[in-house]
């Protein structure tokens, strides 16, 4: 259904450090800057793009929005959460935890305030 998710950032290098670390924790590769100055991450068929807003106004986080990121295992969720907090993210909601439906999840806000969740259905 989706081709990509694009979010805004007020500091692309800060975002690069955060997302490079969190995607590396999930087995992903560092982001690449395209010719238009957008930071692009490709992982397991998904695409996350980060850009400074084209209208020249500050980037703001979506109120009520969450970007869900697939993780292969609960260990990946823990590693993602640890990398995110080490690279400027803020832990939010509960610590990484198993939900009643069997999903193992963690939540962070990136350095620009975007709400992210890493989720695994594996109990390993």
Q: Which residue has the tokens 């590693």?
A: 79
* CB-based burial, 15-29: b 16+ in 10 Å, e otherwise: bbebbbbbbebbebe
At 101, is the pLDDT very low, low, confident or very high (cuts 50, 70, 90)? confident
- What tens digit of pLDDT does each residue of 103-115 get? 999 999 999 999 9
Tokens of 1: 């259904």
What pLDDT digit, counting tens, does each position of 46-70 carry?
Answer: 899 999 998 999 999 888 889 999 9
């Amino acid at each position: 259904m989706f081709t990509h998710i694009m979010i805004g950032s007020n500091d692309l290098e800060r975002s690069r450090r955060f997302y490079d670390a969190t995607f590396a924790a999930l087995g992903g590769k560092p982001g690449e800057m395209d010719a238009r100055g957008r930071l692009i991450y490709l992982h397991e068929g998904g695409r996350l793009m980060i850009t400074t807003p084209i209208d020249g106004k500050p980037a703001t986080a979506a109120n009520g929005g969450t970007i869900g990121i697939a993780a292969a295992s609960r260990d990946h969720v823990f590693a993602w959460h640890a990398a995110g907090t080490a690279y400027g993210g803020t832990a939010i909601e509960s610590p990484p935890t198993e939900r009643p439906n069997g999903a193992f999840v963690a939540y962070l806000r990136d350095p620009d305030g975007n709400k992210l969740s890493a989720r695994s259905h594996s109990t390993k």
